[in-house]
Copies of this chain bind each other. A is one copy, B any other.
Amino acid sequence: MHEKYMAEAIIEANKAAQLGEVPIGAVIVKDDKIISRAHNLRETSQNPITHAEVLAIASASEALNSFRLEDCTLYVTLEPCVMCSGAIVMARIPTVVYGAKDPKGGTVDSLMGLLDEPKFNHRANVISGILETECSTMLKDFFKSLRAKKKEKKNEL
């Protein structure tokens, strides 16, 4: 089941890649139905808030008309950053499933454990490593192609 929804998050991530955005995608599931889906839009929007998770949370809240996303599961291709971990806490999302770890910015397992923080009034169950290879390969390919493009541009000058 987790694979099925992570595959949907990957579809979202691919939409980001097509826009030249870092390919990160998310879906939110309630009662075995996707209630929101979103992808990273930071470059397109030039708005630092527009990470996939934040957009998916905002859209799910609209769908449910509630800022509390109880009984929801967030699927995201990459380990959430500090802002998105915070948004998960604010939305009281009970379960978070992510694909690849983010050693540089992830605050669920890598840099810290913000979804299991006794000081906060909410903690989430975390499941990681679902379709991990697909999620991380997608990111690696994106950055590889970005570097190649930059090199090409440099050589043109």
Chain A residues within CB distance 8 Å of chain B: 42-43, 45-49, 51, 54, 57-58, 61-62, 65-69, 81-87, 89-92, 104-105, 107, 111-112, 114, 119-121
B83–A67 touching, CB < 8 Å: no
Residue of A54, A104, A112 with most chain B CB atoms under a 10 A cut-off: A54
* Cross-chain contact of A86 among B42, B46, B83 (Cβ < 8 A): B83
B112–A119 touching, CB < 8 Å: yes
Q: Is the interface of A mostly helix, strand, loop or mixed?
A: loop
Name 13 interchain pairs, CB-CB below 8 A, sorted by A. Answer: A43-B67, A45-B67, A46-B65, A48-B61, A48-B87, A49-B49, A49-B54, A51-B90, A83-B90, A84-B86, A104-B121, A111-B119, A111-B120
* Cross-chain contact of A67 among B48, B54, B119 (Cβ < 8 A): B48
A85–B87 touching, CB < 8 Å: no
A61–B47 touching, CB < 8 Å: yes
**In the bound complex, CA of A121 to CA of B91 (Å):** 25
B114–A82 touching, CB < 8 Å: yes
Known A87-B83, A114-B82, A119-B112; judge A57-B67 contact (CB<8 A). Answer: no
- Which B residues are in CB contact (< 8 Å) with A42? 67
